[in-house]
Structure 1
């Protein structure tokens, strides 16, 4: 009894400079007080000296130890989502800069290829021949091909990163739009592999592996062009995923894929044939021009990914805004809410109770009509809010559905 009384007295004098200890230390202090004594007087004296010698123990009370209202409400999943979207937006920005750098390098290579035209028998002996020979002393054919192959390898890697660092919404669209998500992954695998192997071969021995490296590069141009064609098709005709169901590919989309694949294969075969016929300069013109187009398409894709990520960040921070929303009729004026967060309200649509998402901002209530079917949209004049037990009855049955 004296021990508990002493503990309560110690906890009550919190403002007098008590020491807050953990539960483990509290148990160790209680265990150290197991001292045998011969009389009650001696026992109380021992306890008095031990309590005075040890730091005061603070017991658990109903009062909060600090002002918990001042602590911010933090959502771990929301913070991770914002961090992931910010990282994707920044990565796509740098990938877009890499694509522009690849485009600039290809333009420089096209200019160097034009300066190396003295290798052809039909070149003209004019004033530019001397400058071409002077340039050839500083920029050799080995340097030209090293820059060409390693730029292609860098572009293939950047394109793979651009597909990986898409926003979650676009990732689902691009990988499931054609119902063949493994095809794009397989093409990316061969794309990076076929661009890295010839770059390493041309680095080890330029004279011995020059022909083999060019053949592998022309084969890589087919996979690279096919992936770029898929990206371009997704940018021109973005798939609409308004529902949670997996989108199915249409006959028109499959036809576009087949035509694009055949066109890319013809370009690769044409480059290979022109190169094997001894027209290396013409083959380089075709290849470099095609690389410029692919780098610009990938740059567009990276900008679209960055815009999508920033738009999702804005929706998480400031709420989802629907530009095509309509204002609800005057009879729904009691449903006005001041916050920007969408809320659910129960209403009657032609005698049928349904759950309706309502967006409020600055005292104005907006209804997302885009999520309603045309029949319900025509009956907007008959909307009446549900109250009482009717709303409670349909709250869990109609949650998330219209």
Structure 2
């Protein structure tokens, strides 16, 4: 999801001439025991889902605890006046970091435990692997419409990097695998492999906007604590299925954005086209996406694409029966190391990651609560630092960087 008007990501989208729209309707439905509940207040779900009395009571107790923690996360996530972005990231990471999400929720009815597991695996980890604060953050988006994560990009998320690449033109070199980054007294040397040939490139600054484990592998000469911190950022797997649909008119899921699906071949179901289903004629076709993360993702990685596609479509049709007649294409994609998650003790790594590393600058979603806004902000911070150390270039323009606050 993309940020609202006050987010750095939104400003970048505006600079690129693209458009985001608020996600309408409910952002988190549930499919449990054959029934889909995807409307109304989430607090009513325990009363509306087909659960046993024991499971219903367990869900209510756990939901109340989670609501309390989510409200605390919302307060921790809001940047204070005059506060640096790095200080805000550190506070957010430290929120309820001394216990796991599973420990915080406590013993639950198995049906309820499966619900929370499915949603936790949205961040590629199990409830016992993430902090209570991380788990609360996953639900804060559902309850707080004022948080930045509330919009989708018209045309799909991939449109942003494609548009930025087009604007940058020949300054972007693709197909160039970086083998190492070696800091030097006046800059850094980058060894790259292009079309099978190795060459060295010199730079005054290097912005390492790569996953933590890649940065750890390619950047030489890092301080020991920074190298150790990068190596200790955990990543979990995702197996995704993109489903192209060819319906000619309205469908029952048009006003649904996301559904958690415990006990299915995937954890979550998304209807990314729902931002287009407002007033006016309903355009034909659509796009659904499902994925399995965490332990489920690891099991899916052992299957063939054909087996995954079959399992995804089978369970998708049990949740949205009308989808069977409109599926036109399914694409399966695998990520063994998809996104980082916040494990207990993560906040203690932050000083080593935020410290000055000279002419090598770190950027990425792993530097805070893992989402695109953190990637955008840390990238802009790094660019601002690099630009401040370079001689002015005649004719250079950068409107976005002027808005970055240190």
User: What TM-score do the two structures reach when normalised by structure 1?
Assistant: 0.21
User: What TM-score do the two structures reach when normalised by structure 2?
Assistant: 0.21
Q: Which has the higher Rg, Structure 1 or Structure 2?
A: 1
Structure with the higher strand share, 1 or 2: 2
